[in-house]
Structures are given as C-alpha cells and as structure tokens.
Homo-oligomer: A and B are copies of this chain.
Amino acid sequence: MKQNKVIIVGGGLVGSLAACYFAKRGWVVELYEKRPDPRDPENLGTRNLRSINLAISTRGLSAINRLSPEVEKKVMDIVLPMYGRMIHNLDGSTAGQAYNVFGKAINSVDRGRLNEILLDECETFEGTKVFFEYSLEKCDMDAKTATFKNLKTGEIVSTSGDLVIGADGVHSVTRRFLQYYTKVNFEQVYIDHGYMEFEMRAKDGQFQMAKDHLHIWPRKTFMLIALPNLDKSFTCTLFMPWSKFNSIKTEEDLNTFFKENFPDSIPLFGQEEINLYFTNPKGSLCYIKCSPHHYKGNAVIVGDASHCTVPFYAQGMNCGFEDIEVLDTLLCQQAAPLINSKDAEQCQNVKTSSLTSDQIESALINYSACRPRDSASMIDLAMHNYIEMRHSVNTLSYKMRQWLEGKLYSIMPNTVIPLYTMVSFSKISYTDATKKWNRQTKALQSMVSVFSKLSFITAATLLIRYSGPRMGLRMPSISEIVKIFRK
C-alpha cells in the first residue's frame, strides 16, 4: 500500500503539531527546523527568551485533544488558567472582569515548553524524522521537492514527498515560493505601535499579583499587560505608539512615565527592571493576510506563515492549531467520506496516508476555501480588540453592554453569545463569530433606539398632559388633527 510522505518546513508550535497529526494518520514525516533543537541542554541559550506570552484557549486545546487527549493532559499540566482581566486603574485600585459568565478561562502557557511537548510527541512515531538547523533554500512545488541547507555543515540536501507544508512563521520562505507558483493575494500592514517586554519576578517565592487573571493597565492609547508564568513571575508587555516610545529619552522621562501611568507597578518591578527600558529590544507589530494558502495538491502554508496577527486576541497560535485540525478534518473527509470527519472519536483510526494527489488537492481546495477568510476575520478581531483592551474596557458603554450581553447569554446561551466567548471559548468560525456579533450589535442598538424613542414620546405626552394646562397646551385628539385637513 502506498504510504504518503509529507515534508514540513518549520518545527515551531504549528509545524510540530502538524508533524504529530500526519504521523498519527500514517504518513512518513520529515520535519525541518532552522533553529537548533530547543530540548538540547547545549542550546538553552539560543531559546528566544523574550516573546509575547501565549494564551491557549478552546480552539488550540481542541486541536490537541483531537490529536490525543493524553497530550492535552500534558499541556494542561503546564498552564495557568486566567479567568478574567484584572484592570489596574490610575489610582492603584483594581477591578476584575470575568471572561465568561460560566467561569471559563484562557490559559497562560510557556511557548518553549509547549513546543517541547509537541516535538517529543511527534518523535514517538516511527517514520518521523526531525532535522534541526536546516533552512529552506528552494522549493519546487511542481515536483514537490524541497531543498534545504544544513546550517552546521553547509551541505545542501533535497527531499521529495507527496505534500509540502510551510509552517515557517511570519517570514515564511515557503510562502515566497508559493507566490511563484500561484497568484497569491497578499496584504501586510505594520501598525504604528510597538511593544517591549519586562519581567515581574516572584517575591519570597510568591506571585506578586493575582495569578488567575490577565492584568491590564489600560491607558487609552497604550497599555501594559501581564501574564503569569509557572515560576511565579509575570511576563509584562508594554504596547505603545512608536512616537510615545521615542518621546521617552531620559531616565527622568521614564520615571515620570511610570509614575504617571503605572504607579502600582513600580514596587513590583523594581527600579532596575524598569531601567531595562533603554536596553530591552522593541518589537514591531504587523499583520499578514493572504489567499489562497495552497498550490494544487502539492503544497500548503499554515500558521503564521499564512496569517500573522497582532497579538491582542491571543489567537495567533490558537488559529494556527485550528488550521491543522481543519486540514486533518478535510483529509479525513477524503479518506473516510462516510463518517463525520469533524468527530475526533470517529476519526480516531482513520489513515490519510494513501490518499491520491487528486484527493489531497480536493482537501486543499476546501482548505483554501475557508481558512484564508477565517484567519483574516481573526486578524480583524485582534485589531479591534487592541482598542478594547487599552481603552474600551474602562468605558461605561462597554461595561453596560458586557453586563447586558452577559445576562442575555446566561438566560439564552445559544441565542446571544458575547464576542469574547465565541472567539476564545467556542469553535464557531471567526467569520461566523464576527457576523453573529454584528447582528447582535444591531439588535442591541435597535433595542436601545426603540427604548429611547418610546421614552421620549411617553415623556412628551406626560409633559403636555400634566404640565400642559399651566403652559396653555393640551393634547389634540386624532379626530381633531384629521378635521383640520377636512373641508
């Protein structure tokens, strides 16, 4: 029997999850990663110690669960659940805002440790080979051949397979080759804001703030956030317009800035950490949307390679993991058309490793029919959520809507669903979530509008009826109004 081979470019989170999935479905898997093996003690120094923390939520966990409930357990052992936002006001007071009326949580997780779990898992499969320190040099997508350079020896190696998967991140080389082979609509936008990370260390072996919340200091045009780590520290990220970053030039500027905006954080960081402002790297923020994501039955890009987002909805990795679940579902559909391919249990033993290239192409066509649109919706949601996190969370209208929507949701959980719940705690597609939310917004607005019109008419009627006599006014009757038009 034919056994398909997949070449995966990139062994980060999404690439290593893809490797697990294809191995589980019976494929020969070759995974090529540019960086050194993160599990090798020698390479500890090469691990990227500064990167925006991750929060894994329903979509990400669902993809891991479909792969293996045991792996999901391993992941859940290293996460810290966050049940809501903790808003830090200017006066030092704090206020919690639950993410979900039923108490659901998103989970702070260490990127490196999650990656290691997935790499370990994919290596448990026979027929899976992982190559570290190999960079993609060329990809012939007609011949399904990828050429890599061994970064240690300089050697050039070529490998052919039945499918090439590009999971090589925002600067994806696979994506660049895809653009040679097919017409790719493409959008890349840098936003005018950048970010910088700080560390808030544990004190006396304890967290310095509540560990079960995502902490936010919303300051309208900028914000500081903090996510808890297993070692009881917090990784804090300052998101701010570049112009604001550039305006802080001296230690005095910096101290004034922290005193005016995040006074309660100063003792928690300590002056030394704050002073790292002048040496810490600043990161830029951009998003990338493109379409299609595939070429024939030969190649497909997934994860950040196909959709890079700003981090404000914590959906980048979740969406990338969902990519792999969707891809697997569509391949299972080809291999076993008679079962419900979305059902993890029914698919438990399905093998997709002997699909023909036509079948793979059908799956990839279906993939590009939904994922580019859904990931673009996710990016739009993340752009919108930046305004929500740094500003709206502190406004009365936002709080009122959250309250009202929360109440309606708890009464009729299938009819009204808050946006945050649809995005983070459901598997409703990002596009459908956006549409549903727009409908809900309209419905709430017209409720408010009808309510205010009724109030106005009632008030005016009451005014004329009860104060009218004093003001020389009275309510005309309908027949009187009709009469003046009659001859």
Contacts and interface: CB of A to CB of B under 8 A. Distances in A.
A278 interface: no
Interface stretch (A23-31, A119-127, A178-186): A178-186
Nearest to A472: B487
Interface stretch (A68-76, A308-316, A473-481): A473-481
Interface stretch (A44-52, A187-195, A451-459): A187-195
A469 B481 contact: no
Interface string A146-167: 0000000000000000000000
A484 interface: yes
A468 interface: yes
A474 B185 CA distance: 64
A238 interface: no
A286 interface: yes
Contacts of A472: 486-487
A190 B186 CA distance: 9
A284 interface: yes
Contacts of A469: 487
Contacts of A473: 485-487
A481 B286 CA distance: 62
Contacts of A476: 484-485
Nearest to A487: B474
Contact of A484 (B187, B189, B190, B484): B484
Nearest to A288: B186
A469 B485 CA distance: 11
Contacts of A284: 183
A211 B286 CA distance: 50
A186 B183 contact: no
Contacts of A184: 188, 190
Contact of A487 (B183, B185, B468, B481): B468
A487 B469 CA distance: 7
Nearest to A485: B473
A242 to B, nearest CB: 10
Q: Which 3 A-B pairs have the closest CB atoms?
A: A476-B484, A186-B188, A183-B190
Interface of A: 183-190, 284, 286, 464, 468-469, 472-474, 476, 480-481, 484-487
16 contacts: A183-B190, A183-B284, A185-B189, A186-B186, A186-B187, A187-B187, A187-B188, A468-B487, A472-B486, A473-B486, A473-B487, A474-B487, A476-B484, A476-B485, A480-B484, A481-B484
